[in-house]
Amino acid sequence: MDETTVHGTVGNHLSYADLTPDLGLKMAAGLDAESIISAVTFSGLRGRGGAGFPTGMKWKFARAESRKPKYIVCNADEGEPGTFKDRLVLTDYFDLVCQGMTIAGKAADSEDGIIYLRAEYSFMRPHLEQILKRRRQEGLLGKNILGNKGFDFDIVIRMGMGAYICGEETALLESLEGHRGEARNRFPFPVQAGYKGLPTVINNVETFAWVPAILEKGPAWFADMGTKKSPGARLFSVSGDCARPGIYEYPFGTPLSRVLQDAGADNPKAVQVGGASGTCVAADGFERTLAFEDLSTGGSIIIFGQNRDMFAIAENFQGFFAEEACGQCVPCRIGNVRLHEAIERMRKNGLSADMERELRQLAATMQTASKCGLGQSSPNAFLSILDSFAGELPQHGNDVKPHSAEARP
Ligand SMILES: Cc1cc2nc3c(=O)[nH]c(=O)nc-3n(C[C@H](O)[C@H](O)[C@H](O)COP(=O)(O)O)c2cc1C
């Protein structure tokens, strides 16, 4: 591992770090598929890629599909600005990801694993290929895994092409098939018709990496951490204006203030939780908790100090979305450009009440009518910055109205 600092919940290591090599996989080899799915379901594991879909349920749906071959895809696109925890898992704990994917293969009755690796992570490919090779030699991948007849599973690495949209699971599938990265319609869901139209489980890197720990330490160990709706712990990529940026592990339900304290953030002005598509939290929200039912996040926490210009941040994020919108649907393609232009203007000229009403309507249209999560979430940062920091904008003529609940659509 490189310069990234790792901070576990207890001491200085992650829950992952003290597992017995491949014990989770060995245990799974002795279980039938239903028992594996029950254990993952009981643990309450929810996807770590952002949406938090229950992993056991996803695997159960895939198992119920009769068409074959089925695929297990690891989403290693890690494109959300401010997120770098999957990078650590891939470089330092890749065996756990392989175990998790192999166990998912047994659960869903699939023999084919694919890792969709972010283009910018191509530097780690030789290291990952070496581990895959070693695992084949040790009988942990390939035919008759660990000597169990019929337990067959192997993993290939496919490179991403450098587009944010390709982290969205259906655009990822398009990209894997050699097409332009654009979100698909649902239904059907990928578990029904995914890669090449066949049943496909797609999970985040970290989601797979938790599975061996759940089997080795027991689903109850995992379920006892966190909150009722968000069991377990998760990794956070912490960056920005703080003394100790790095990867942190916390149980769900941890207050944001605890993270800020551990990271050495001295009197921050705001924190962006969930990356560019997440929510900007002002100081009065620092006691809110990190959990799907409160501050939901794919694991990114960006800290902003008192000297930061919040609308410069909003403009930066909106510019990113304007660049990265795939262009397929109008609300996202046009909306992000219009919002970006408007933020640029309001930083110079302020914001009238009429303009604010229009922009909030535009944002609501994007959230409701965009085809995929990109456009649905791209106005979040701007809206939350507007809610908390409108007073930082220049005064707008005699029609100044920083913001009001009434103006919301
Ligand atoms: C625009 C966009 C980008 C996304 N990027 C990623 C990503 O880089 N990595 C990831 O795991 N999930 C990403 N997701 C979420 C995936 O679509 C999907 O929910 C996830 O891979 C499912 O795995 P999980 O259930 O383990 O979280 C993205 C979603 C959207 C809308």
Q: What global pTM score does this model have? A: 0.94
Residue to mutate, 168, 182, 195, 300, ligand 1, most ligand atoms under 8 Å from C-beta: 168
Ligand 1 atom with the smallest distance to the CA of 48 is 27
Residue closest via CA to ligand 1's atom 12 equals: 49
- Taking the alpha carbons at both ends of the chain, their separation in whole angstroms is 47
Mutate which of 55, 169, 200 to test ligand 1's pocket (most atoms within 8 Å of Cβ)?
169
pLDDT of residue 13: 62
pLDDT at 396: 79
Query: What is the model's pLDDT at position 50?
Result: 86
Give the model's pLDDT for residue 7: 60
Same fold, 15-223 and 310-407: no
Q: What is the pLDDT of residue 363?
A: 98
In ligand 1, the atom with minimum distance to the C-alpha of 170 is 17
Domain 15-223, CATH number (from 3.40.50.11540, 3.50.50.60, 3.40.50.720, 3.30.300.100): 3.40.50.11540
* Residue 8 confidence (pLDDT): 52
Q: Which CATH number does the domain 233-304 belong to among 3.30.565.10, 3.40.50.720, 3.10.20.600, 3.90.170.10?
A: 3.10.20.600
Q: What is the pLDDT of residue 11?
A: 40
For residue 391, how far is its CA from the centre of ligand 1 (angstroms)?
A: 34
Q: How many CA atoms lie within 13 A of 47 on its CB side?
A: 17
Residues within 6 Å of ligand 1 by CB: 47-51, 53, 75, 77-80, 164-165, 167-169, 202-204, 207, 372-374
Reported CATH class of domain 310-407? mainly alpha
The rounded Å distance from CA 201 to ligand 1 centre is 12
- Residue 292's pLDDT is what? 95
Centre of ligand 1 to C-alpha 289, Å, is 22
Residue ranges of domains in the chain:
15-223, 233-304, 310-407
Residue 49 CA, ligand 1 centroid: distance in Å: 4
Query: Which residues in the chain land under pLDDT 70?
Result: 1-13, 397-409
How far CA 2 is from CA of 91, 92, 129, 323, in Å, comes to: 9, 10, 19, 30
**What's the order of all strands across the beta sheet hosting 200-204?**
154-159, 112-117, 71-76, 200-204
